Amino acid sequence: MDLPEALGSLKPTLLIYQTLSTPIWVFDFEAMSVIWANSGALELWDAASCTELASRKMGRDTTATVTDHLTNIRAQLHRNTSYFDRWTIYPRGVPRHCFLEYRGIQLDDGRDAMLVECLGQDLHSNSETLRSTEALRHTSLMISMYSADMDLLYCNPAARTMLPVQLSNLADHFIEPLDWKSVQDNVTGTDQFQIEALVNTATGPKRHKLHFRQSRDALTGQNSLLVSETDITRLHNGARDSHMQARTDSLTGFANRLYLHEQLAEISTRPGVSVGVIYIDLDRFKNINDSLGHSVGDKLLVRVAETISQCADKQLTLVRLGGDEFLLLLESVEDYSYLTALSECIIDKLNSPIAIDGSMLRVTPSIGICIYPQDAGDAETLLQHADIAMYQSKGNGGNQYRIFNDQMLVDVKHRTQLEQELALAIKHEQFILEYQPRFNIDGNTIAGAEALIRWKHPVRGLLYPGSFIEVAEETGLINELGDWVLREGARQAAYWNRIGLGIRVSVNISARQFSARSFVDDVKRVLHDTGCPARLLEVELTESMLIDDIPHVAAVLERLHKIGVRTAIDDFGTGYSNLFYLQSFEIDCLKIDKAFVQSIDKPAILNMILSLGKMLNMTVVAEGIETHDQLDWLQKNGCNELQGFYLAKPMSAARLEKRLAANTKASKPTRTIDLVDA
């Protein structure tokens, strides 16, 4: 007997097999060929010799199912089991349906091979049976059959490859008890049904779609269950991934608005459920984006999200609503105590600076708290009310939390009404300017006047800026309003100048107006249109307008200076002026905030501002003078100009005009001031 070298040690066994008439051969998995065959096998394979049979490369026309099946056989044989199978071989293209027994063997060089014995051929089945058997063997659909006790009766090659080796009962196939229960429930009632479930397989847990059908075991005639399954793991994971992706905020990785809405919709269908929300908005976050750029802003948002989530010890959902708005969602809350504690933690944590790209940044939150169902009847209202409460925190200076209450709704209604009326008021010319005189150090002669806006409200009477300027600023109406004030103030100054009563008129400028790129051009156009000499117009700015974008501010002040328009810093001492820039900015005047004027018993800051003004060669104006003592002190300490109710209240243009006219006529001052001590 001519034996391949690798079969040397098997020689005695093969010699015996050589004498048997049953076809027996050795199949080499790696070479994918028959490396030895007895005479019966040579006949079955229609081969002239072992060498000829060995030269047939079976791998060449092997289908995917055959490869899978061989891999499966190899895996099973490796575990030292013998194995029966029906298999069709195609010697010289002619099908032969064989009942085979495989046995794993090891070749001399250590490789795996199998010894195959053909126990017989199926010569009786009709073509239909043969084809259907083949189809069952080669389909990738995993088909198995179970007895009434759910014991495994049969599985096709695809199912055999997939099922864990030790699986003998259908119950063990399922990972989730609920899935198995659903199978049991359905089996008793329905003829066929389908489920998707997480199942145990030879390669670990997989998601399968399983179709069940009641049938009979052809062998025993007993009821059986036919199961066909397909692997939908990838499909499922893909769908789950894209589902999750659509519900995740791409910047922070926390949930997004879509997730929140679905979650709220789902929760609110449950009877007796309660939901607490904490609505968080960062204060002045826009400043960070504007001054440090969006990339720093984004990094900060990520850190803020992490910080917020650190406060939540219970199972909470953190949602980024967009921009600098976040929301915490908590189920089953009875009262506000946990929500307020959480809010305090968030405020506390955010108050410590966060290091981003070498800068220490601090953002404070404004927080609104609201509970469903006590504060809001549905999900949408819940979010709305939390937003309103958050807004109240912001309106009160931020860095705090507020619990929603019904009064807030009333306030919001008033505000909305105010916004609408304000927009109409501009159209219907319901605004007027009053003028408050600014006196020279003698407290008698008028150096100028500050234009102060008033709203002649058709129902509520004369309204002061305190009740509407903020709303105008927030809604952007201030632009239109500010333009009007500037033009009207300049028109008045020009008129007084023409009739020989020329005084300087100061106009308050809002941050929005000042930051508009066209500001200086707007001022120029107003001067041109009204004929107001530039030296008779002063713009009052606040310190906060001067700290952002310093090069731009410096350029604007420089241009105003060049055209001759005066500039004043209003409410000086309350903001955070950078003294370094103060000396390089073109500024004519400092207006000491009335709070300092009204506390002359503690004159440290007053003294400081007065000397600062002297050093920087700026006019210092004291405003809000209400008493003789205040006036006296300021005059004695050399404050350049004086303004306040004690000297004159804001008045109509007509009244001021009369006063100016009387002043110019009068030869003697109406108030005598003793300047000796000054």
Cβ at position 623, least distance to Ca ion in Å: 5
Query: How many whole angstroms from its chain centre is CA 416?
Result: 28
DSSP 3-state assignment of 369? strand
Measured over the CA atoms of residue 541, residue 545, residue 546 and residue 549, the dihedral's sign is: negative
226 within 8 A of 213, measured Cβ to Cβ: yes
354 to 393: interface string for ligand C2E, x by CB under 6 A? ----------------------------------------
Q: Report what 437 binds from Ca ion, ligand C2E, none; CB cut-off 5-8 Å by kind.
A: none
At 478, list the tokens. Answer: 């201030």
Q: Which does 208 bind (CB under 5 to 8 A by kind): Ca ion, ligand C2E, none?
A: none
**Measured between alpha carbons, how far is 611 from 605 in angstroms, rounded to an integer?**
10
Cα angle 156, 159, 161; round to 5: 110
Residue 570 C-beta: closest distance to ligand C2E, Å: 5
Asked if residue 252 binds Ca ion (CB under 5 A), the reply is no
Contacts (CB under 6 A) with ligand C2E, residues 412-441: 436
- From residue 286 to residue 325, the character string flagging contacts with ligand C2E as x (rule: CB under 6 A) and all else as - is ----------------------------------------
Which three-class secondary structure state does DSSP give residue 48? coil
Residues within window 637-666 making contact with ligand C2E, judged by CB under 6 A: 644-645, 650
The distance of closest approach from Cβ of residue 608 to ligand C2E in the complex, given in angstroms and rounded to an integer, is 20
Q: Name the segment binding ligand C2E (CB under 6 A); options: 320-328, 375-383, 607-615, 622-630.
A: 622-630
CB 359 within 8 A of CB 296: yes
Residue 90 contact, options ligand C2E, Ca ion, none, Cβ 5-8 Å cut-off depending on partner type: none
Q: Should residue 625 be labelled a site residue for ligand C2E when binding is judged by CB under 6 A?
A: yes
Q: How far apart are CA 650 and CA 42, in angstroms?
A: 121
If binding is defined by CB under 6 A, does position 624 make contact with ligand C2E?
Answer: yes
Bridge partners for 355 per DSSP? 360
Q: Of these partners, ligand C2E, Ca ion, none, which one is at the site of residue 453 (CB under 5 to 8 Å by kind)?
A: ligand C2E
571 lines the binding site for ligand C2E (CB under 6 A): yes
With a CB cutoff of 8 Å and minimum separation 6, the contacts of 581 are 546, 550, 554
d(CA 320, CA 388): 18
Q: Take residue 520 and report the two structure tokens written for it.
A: 């200086």
Q: Which of 283, 324, 543, 570 binds ligand C2E (CB under 6 A)?
A: 570
Q: Which of 319, 371, 485, 503 binds ligand C2E (CB under 6 A)?
A: 485
443 is a contact residue toward ligand C2E (CB under 6 A): no
H or E element that contains 241: helix 233-246
Shortest separation between residue 568's beta carbon and Ca ion, angstroms: 8
Which value, to the nearest 10 degrees, does the dihedral of the CA atoms of residues 526, 531, 533, 537 take? -40
Q: Which of residues 525-554 bind Ca ion (CB under 5 A)?
A: 540
452 binds ligand C2E (CB under 6 A): yes
Four-CA torsion 286, 290, 295, 298, nearest 10 degrees: 0
Indicate which single residue of 69, 206, 394, 594 sits in contact with ligand C2E (rule: CB under 6 A).
Answer: 594
Which of the choices Ca ion, ligand C2E, none does residue 283 contact, using the CB cut-off of 5 to 8 A by kind? none
Q: Shortest gap between Cβ of 544 and Ca ion (angstroms)?
A: 13
- Is 571 a binding residue for Ca ion by CB under 5 A? The answer is yes
* Cβ-proximal residues to 560 (8 Å cutoff; 6+ apart), any chain: 520, 523, 539, 567, 586
Using alpha carbons, list the distances in angstroms from residue 511 to 476, 480, 549: 11, 13, 13
Q: Which of Ca ion, ligand C2E, none sits in contact with 645, Cβ below 5 to 8 A by type?
A: ligand C2E
Within residues 165-204, the interface with ligand C2E by CB under 6 A covers none
Distance (Å, whole) CA 474 – CA 203: 62
Which of residues 255 and 452 has its CB atom nearest to ligand C2E in the complex? 452
Cα–Cα distance measured from residue 87 to residue 37, given in angstroms and rounded to the nearest whole number = 17
Q: What is the DSSP string of 190-231?
A: -SEEEEEEEE--TTS-EEEEEEEEEEE-TTT--EEEEEEEEE
* Positions in the binding site for Ca ion (CB under 5 A): 508, 540, 570-571
* Positions in the binding site for ligand C2E (CB under 6 A): 436, 452-453, 464-466, 469, 482, 485, 508, 510, 540, 570-571, 594, 623-626, 644-645, 650
